[in-house]
Amino acid sequence: MSTQNNSTADGHSSDTHGPGGAAHGSVKEYVLGLLISIILTGIAFYVVMFEVVSPALTLVVILATAVAQVMVQLVFFLHMNTSSEQIWNTTSAAFIIIIVAILIVGSVWIMSHLNHNMMIGH
Amino acid sequence: MTTSADLQVHDQDEHHHDSGGDTVFGFWIYIMSDCILFATLFATYAVMSGSFAGQITPKELFDLNFVLGETALLLFSSFTFGMAMLYAHKKSMRGMITWLLITFALGLGFLGMELFEFYHFSHEGATPQTSGYWSAFYGLVATHGLHVTGGLIWMLILFAHFKRDGFSDANMVRLACLSLFWHFLDVIWICVFSVVYLMGVM
């Protein structure tokens, strides 16, 4: 019994999972996450500050780098993955992304139609 | 001594190691609900993004170099908190406290810059009362700033906890929760600087 407990504890400490059950990474993972984040932030600020491309393309670059950086930080800093320890964290996050999308897209959609309809008399 | 009753309880709760893990997961669920709070503020901001009421516009006020500074402080603080976590798992008190102090300083720097920015904006005539746009702006950005403030206070309390109890299981769970919270704040800031500042000056 006690041997079994010990082996589980050892398995946990040598694994990428702490005693708190939350996953934690390595120096390499954090440094890589930091470097990619810096590059993505740099690209986003660069295209806006120096107006290197058309406004429409700038908008695309801002959104693409933002989504990419959020993903990078979720994976490298928050250690989100599909392992069995993390699957419910990831599942709840996927659910929240759907809710957030409905909330934001829905609000903007409804309010733009409202604006449009109110402007008819003008 | 292991009785059959003990074994049964043990079997039912197969993740008895992770009783702290349940707390961390519960905190994760809180963070997910916090995402919805921010989503409503972002939705409000998007709806109000053109409602200047003939008053001062963000294009006249936003300074991207300043925002880049804020972004750098928060991004590096997210990284240094990761380093603190690694030292905490190595049970190195000195290393953990050092990195956590750096994180605290960076977070405080970010908050200072944000407060200075708010002061500067209101001085230039952009207060929450100015227009629908500025109400939404302050509502969104200040809510993020309030979260950062909460994280900093939490960090101070955690210093006291670690000074008193060292690397106890409870303290490790607290640290794991705060680390999730801190990384989450950086993720929200990515959305803030992209949607509010970068798109605001276009």
Give the mean pLDDT of B63-85.
97
Q: What is the pLDDT of residue A81?
A: 87
Q: How many domains, in total, are found in chain B?
A: 1
Domain-embedded: residue B157: yes
Domain-embedded: residue A13: no
Same domain, A50 and A62: yes
Q: How many domains, in total, are found in chain A?
A: 2
Is a pLDDT exceeding 80 seen at residue B62?
yes
| Interface check A104 vs B, CB under 8 A | yes
Domain-embedded: residue A4: no
Task: Label each residue of A39-86 as H, E or C.
Answer: HHHHHHHHHHHCCCCCHHHHHHHHHHHHHHHHHHHHHHCCCCCCCCCC
Is 0.90 exceeded by the ipTM? no
pTM above 0.80, yes or no: yes
Containing structural domain, residue A37: 23-79
Distance in angstroms (rounded) separating the CA atoms of residues B96 and A68 = 29
| Interface check A94 vs B, CB under 8 A | no
Cβ <8 Å between B75 and A34 = yes
Kindly state the tokens that stand for B54: 């003939």
Containing structural domain, residue B132: 35-200
Cβ <8 Å between A41 and B75 = yes
Distances, alpha carbon B69 to alpha carbons B114, B174, B184, in Å:
10, 29, 19
Distance in angstroms (rounded) separating the CA atoms of residues B42 and A107 = 10
Residue B64: which CATH number? Answer: 1.20.120.80
**pLDDT tens digits for range A76-108:** 999 988 888 889 999 999 999 999 999 999 999
Domain-embedded: residue B138: yes
Q: B residues 119-148 near A, CB within 8 Å? A: none
Kindly state the tokens that stand for B121: 């904006």
Is a pLDDT exceeding 50 seen at residue B168?
yes
Same domain, A27 and A72: yes
**How close does chain B come to A121, measured CA to CA in Å?**
20
